[in-house]
Amino acid sequence: MKRFGNLYEKICSYDNLVAAAEHARKGKGRQGTVKDFYKDFEANLRQLHGELLNHTYKTSAYSLFTVYEPKERVIYRLPFRDRIVHWAIMLVVEPIWIGTFTRDTYSCITGRGIHGAFRKLKADLKDVSGTRYCLKVDVRKFYPTIDHSILKQIIRKKIKDAALLGLLDGIIDSVPDNEGVPIGNYLSQFFANLYLSELDHLLKEQYRVKYYYRYADDIVVLDGSKERLHALLVAINDYLMAERNQQLKGNFQVFPVESRGIDFIGYVFYHTHVLARKKNKQALARQLHKLRKRDLSEKEVMLSAASRVGFIRHCNSVNLFNKFNVVVMKKFSEIEKTRGKLEGTKLHIDTILNRPIRLLAFEVTDSKHNAEKCLTLQYEVEEPPDTGPSEWVKHITFTGSKALIKQLEGIEQVDFPVETKIIKQAIGDGRKHFYKFTDP
């Protein structure tokens, strides 16, 4: 197995720390510890840079708080400077670690995550006979019981850089009472993936499991044979106890998918449809009730509840939204053609790539410059103002993209706006590209 060295200098480079700071800041710019760091950003980052180069960096003290959704958990929070260090490590090491995972690991991996697991499980359930039964397990107190010595051995199987290993060891051992890894650390999420990655390989390669999904310590295995799943349950339990010093929770179960559905990643999966988990439906109902009691406009209510609504809308949620009087914005895959007055500040199409936009209207006309067609898009894009919350600002874009025009051909009238984003995909050797609408 190839082991990687000469990584520490890349992690500690000033440019990498700047990039890490921007990643760590994303979505958390209003936090006090972030604002304090950015008041004198360059001086603070130079100090952190020097500590890393001189090997004097130590993980700061944690602050602890408790959350109760979906169950009580103690969250460990570090100051912003430590989060920069974690991101700096991940920007260099993440590709190495991802290369050790099977495709069945989904937690906190770019391009996978909850919705990657959602799409894969939903697609696999089309094989009704091969997914008749489900084995669902998770690990008892997973994060607090991760063994430091075992985790360090796992990390050393891919990394041989002594300086980086010393930094990682210090982060692992920084937990109060030296127990497990802290829920809340960005690195902890990858430590969790690493800790059970050999189990993934065991099940897929030795036991030839076809339908397998893991999100941190939540594991789902599907098969057409109940007896085979019971045998795999024994194998998983034996591995955890012998190789990882952990135990399964007592709520493990083997059951028919058709009768109960698979409660996983916030949804309940059946062969024919997917529903929202009961707790998520209840949480949305309570949130909507509280917001509407404040006499907010329905638009303000929907903006405040957008996160929960967006999560639930991925499943079969039409009846639920009708019951709660929720009106959701359509996705691009649901739209049909409309025409309207197109106006707004002009933006080049490349400036909005991979950004969620709200498509308001479009129009295909003859180009003024050649015999080709011209596509005019009118949309809103989220932009941060100088102060206060971000705003959705109206723009227009002109393009001669034949691929985008083809996607819009034959679409009939429907209510706008709709959610979408535009991506740029390579053709062949990558010298040529084409644009494409996708759901955000």
Residue 392: predicted pLDDT: 80
Taking the chain (440 residues) in runs of 10, the rounded mean pLDDT of each run is 91 96 88 91 96 95 79 83 96 92 91 90 95 96 94 96 96 84 87 96 96 96 97 97 95 93 96 93 92 88 86 87 80 50 78 89 76 85 64 86 85 70 84 87
Residues 6+ positions from 250 with CB-CB distance below 8 Å = 140
| Joined tokens for residue 371 | 């015999």
Residue 185: predicted pLDDT: 84
The DSSP letter of residue 60 is P
Do residues 365 and 339 touch, judged by C-beta distance below 8 A? no
Do residues 213 and 106 touch, judged by C-beta distance below 8 A? yes
Residue 209: predicted pLDDT: 97
Q: How many CB atoms lie within 10 A of CB 15?
A: 8
Residue 381: predicted pLDDT: 87
| Alpha-carbon gap, residue 404 to 421, rounded angstroms | 12
Residue 386: predicted pLDDT: 52
Residue 234: predicted pLDDT: 97
The DSSP letter of residue 216 is T
What's the burial of 257, exposed, middle or buried (CB within 10 Å: 0-12/13-18/19+)? middle
> Phi, psi at residue 354, to the nearest 5°?
65, 15
